Amino acid sequence: MQRIRLRYTKRGRLRFTSHRDFQRAFERALRRAEVPMAYSAGFTPHPKVSYANAAPTGTGSEAEYLEIALTEHRDPAMLKDLLDESLPTGLDITDVVEARTSGLADRLQASVWELRLDGVTVEDAAHAAETFLAAEAVEVQRRTKNGMRTFDARAAVAALEASRPHADRPVDGPCAILRLVVRHVTPAVRPDDVLSGLRAVADLAPPVPVAVTRLAQGPFDEESGTVTDPLAPDREAVTAAPADRSGAAGSPVAAAQAPEGSA
């Protein structure tokens, strides 16, 4: 069995697709591309697809991840092209690697988010960010299936800074961009929770809905405060492995025969 890891996007209007909508679209793409999927056992077999930390409905993303299991070996680059052609524009496959290591979900330790605040000046956004970061705790409330829940949104935030929109994205009127780095903790702190906290501590209330996009997610380097590529260990393992596919250690054949997680 070959394991493949993919990075995909949710852009434009496709940001409003739910996770279940994406699952259906992706499984149709697998059938169109004639990908030799492995299936689960039981009365209702389904393709072996593992989704990792999907973004909330309504938010865009440049960094969503999933893993699939195949019954036959496929070239990752060719698989990327076939799947990308079979998905609607906006749900784009941007990276595909063969899984040579274990624990993809465990590597997704933090996310980088961009929050576009139309109608808010950069000065007001910067003041609100400074006030938020200066607070020891910022309690917010979110409605869950078990009712209202109160939790601290400040502890999970590793960085929060304001800037102007890029020059290639002209705007009419005031506009600020907040760049947010959030650790993946329990309970999960989402961008809308941080916006609720900014409203609570600094009275920041954008007059129009905030456009939210995830720019990256992956391992978090505490020293530098950066989020790194979660697929890098797999790429490095492939580079380090011998090119021979006769079954020698490190080859795709040997990796497929080895127990899962032993790579």
Interval 118-160: pLDDT, tens: 999 999 999 999 999 999 999 999 888 788 889 999 999 999 9
Q: Domain of 217: which CATH number?
A: 3.30.70
Interval 2-51: pLDDT, tens: 999 999 999 999 999 999 999 999 999 999 999 999 999 888 889 999 99
The whole-chain average pLDDT of the chain stands at 89
Q: Which long-range contacts (CB under 8 A, 24 or more apart) does 27-35 make?
A: 28/86, 29/83, 29/86, 29/87, 30/68, 30/83, 30/86, 32/86, 33/79, 33/82, 33/83, 33/85, 33/86, 34/82, 35/68, 35/70, 35/74, 35/79, 35/82, 35/83
Query: Does residue 116 lie in a domain region?
Result: yes
Largest CA distance in the chain: 64
* Closest to 75 (Cα-Cα) out of 33, 103, 23: 33
Residues 80 and 126 both lie in one domain: no
Q: Domain of 247: which CATH number?
A: 3.30.70.580
Residues 151 and 210 both lie in one domain: yes
Query: Does residue 211 lie in a domain region?
Result: yes
Cα three-residue angle 71-74-78, rounded to 5 degrees: 145
Interval 225-236: pLDDT, tens: 999 999 999 999
Q: Considering its fold, how many domains does the chain have in total?
A: 2
Measured distance CA(263)–CA(261) in Å, rounded? 6
Q: In the prediction, which pLDDT does 253 show?
A: 37
Q: Could you list the residue range(s) of the whole structural domain that residue 29 is in?
A: 2-106+230-257
For the cut 90, the answer to whether the pLDDT of residue 263 exceeds it is no
Residues 147 and 189 both lie in one domain: yes
Residues 19 and 92 both lie in one domain: yes
Contact in structure between 184 and 53 (CB atoms under 8 Å)? yes
> Among residues of the chain, what percentage have pLDDT more than 70?
91
Residues 28 and 99 both lie in one domain: yes
Residues 65 and 14 both lie in one domain: yes
Contact in structure between 263 and 101 (CB atoms under 8 Å)? yes
Query: Does residue 263 lie in a domain region?
Result: no
DSSP characters for 206-257?
A: -SSPPEEEEEEEE-EETTTTEE--TTHHHHHHHHHS-S--SS-TTSHHHHHH
Residues 123 and 212 both lie in one domain: yes
